Amino acid sequence: MSYSIFQSGRSRRNGTFHNLESGIEEQIEALRDELAELTRLVGKSSRHQSEKIRSQAGAGYEELLGRSEDLLRELQHGYERGTTEMRETVRKHPLATIGAAAAFGLAIAFLARR
């Protein structure tokens, strides 16, 4: 008789454990689904962010390229003006130019000796 009492108690516990196990499995499956959805959303968000950053970087590159071209033009114009002014100065004052070049050469020679 005691065997049947334990048997019925075990069957109730096994049924309870089975229900508990089924509930846990369902929760695990629900968590897996939620995790998959979250992973999909994070992937979508990161793709969106990378596209946004790529777009901003492209715009910044174009702006930098435009600025560098403007700066290069300004430097070229400045170089051309300096060259023109130097030629005019040499034409107007040839003796002073020769003297300045000689003084500069002597200074370099003096510094090179040391």
Look-up of token digits 């979508």: 44
Instruction: Kindly tell me the sign of the dihedral angle through the C-alpha atoms of 105, 106, 109, 114.
Output: negative
Does residue 77 surpass a pLDDT of 50? Answer: yes
Look-up of token digits 């003006």: 81
* Phi, psi dihedrals of residue 6, rounded to the nearest 5°: -65, -35
In terms of average pLDDT, the best of 1-10, 34-43, 99-108 is 99-108
Q: What is the pTM (predicted TM-score) of this model?
A: 0.44
Assigned token pair, 112: 């090179």
**8-38 per-position pLDDT tens digit:** 444 455 567 778 888 888 899 988 999 988 8
Residue type, 10: R
Burial group, residue 58, by CB count within 10 angstroms (0-12, 13-18, 19+): exposed
